[in-house]
Amino acid sequence: MEITKDLVAASSRIMILSILSAGESYGYQILQSIKFLSENEWEWSDGMIYPILHRLENEKLITSRWEKIGENRKRKYYTITLKGIQFLEKAVKEWAFVHGTLQKAVALHHGTN
């Protein structure tokens, strides 16, 4: 399914925070989680996810740490903060409200035809 850029942008922060609420992760693994959760319908790029991760970190919604994974390689791991959890809880409620309202609007529209 093709998702508009506006909807991807609007949902990207909550999607990443939701994934990180399950535990620490790194960029590629987050991309794979999104692909898996969307049943291969939603594929984000490196160029999209890393600016969002940096923004979330600047906003103190996540933290990061580097870990050596080989002789000359490092990987950056991200963890949700308490502030991030609080933000996520509020955002999930907001999205649930929007989703519920949209369902009612669609039902109302289909009921009048």
For 34-76, write each residue's pLDDT tens digit: 999 989 888 888 888 999 999 999 999 999 999 998 889 999 9
Confidence of residue 24 (pLDDT cuts 50, 70, 90): very high
Residues in contact with 41: Cβ distance below 8 Å, sequence separation at least 6, in sequence order = 1
Give the closest residue to 53 by CA, choosing from 70, 75, 72, 73. Answer: 75
Q: Which domain holds residue 71?
A: 5-111
**CA–CA gap between residue 65 and residue 56 (Å, rounded):** 14
Query: What is the per-residue pLDDT for 1?
Result: 73
> What share of the chain in percent tops pLDDT 90?
70
pTM: 0.86
Q: Are 56 and 79 in contact (CB under 8 A)?
A: no
Query: What is the per-residue pLDDT for 6?
Result: 84
Is the pLDDT at 111 greater than 90? The verdict is no
Number of domains present in the structure of the chain = 1
* CATH code of the domain covering residue 91: 1.10.10.10
Amino acid at site 107: A
Query: What is the per-residue pLDDT for 112?
Result: 55
- Cite the DSSP H helix spans in 27-112: 27-37, 46-58, 82-111
> What does 5-30 look like in DSSP terms, one character per residue?
HHHHHHHHHHHHHHHHTTS-EEHHHH
